[in-house]
Amino acid sequence: MNAPGGTNEHIIRAARAFSNRAIANQDIDAISSLWMEDVLVLTSTSVQLLGAEANRRYYQAQFTRRPDTLWVRTPSSVGAPSSWRIAHEEGDWTGQWSESDGRVQLRGRYMAQWVCTEGDWRIQGEIYVPTSRVFDQGVVHV
């Protein structure tokens, strides 16, 4: 994703907002448009997903199994030196969906590495670490 005249930080923050909207709309093509082909994701349950196709299948399975799935990433820091073609993003994430016994909400921290190729910023890798899980009956810290 690129935005004429924007700083690298603004471009990456806009790309993350685009990604959050794409997840809310369950638009896997839009979600995957921000990934490098060899993207590596380490999920909050320590599942390692290597490659865009593996990540596409993971999202599709989540949306099929839990149709009301919603994940939101909120960046607290983006470091994108103008002379480098690599940037980092970190912040808080939330995930929520319904199970047969009630609503589940997860929270945690994440970090992403972005790479600028041919003028576009793409996600090279993401790591998600859970910090708490909330059920309808209360909070369980992990």
| Percentage of residues of the chain with pLDDT beyond 70 | 89
Domain boundaries, the chain: 8-141
CA distances from 113 to 2, 128, 139, 142 (A): 16, 12, 30, 25
Average pLDDT over residues 85-108: 93
What's the pTM?
A: 0.87
Q: What is the mean pLDDT of the chain?
A: 90
- pLDDT tens for each residue of 24-57: 999 999 999 999 999 999 999 999 999 999 999 9
CA distances from 5 to 9, 11, 35, 79, 133 (A): 12, 9, 22, 18, 40
pLDDT of residue 9 exceeding 50, the answer is yes
Whether 58 and 35 have beta carbons less than 8 Å apart is answered as: no
pLDDT of residue 108 exceeding 50, the answer is yes
Q: What is the rounded CA–CA span in Å between residue 81 and residue 94?
A: 28
pLDDT of residue 1 exceeding 60, the answer is no
Q: What is the rounded CA–CA span in Å between residue 64 and residue 47?
A: 18
Average pLDDT over residues 85-90: 96
Which pLDDT value is given to residue 76? 98
Cα three-residue angle 7-122-67, rounded to 5 degrees = 115
* 8-141 to CATH, choices 3.30.470.20, 3.10.450.50, 3.20.20.80, 2.60.40.1120: 3.10.450.50
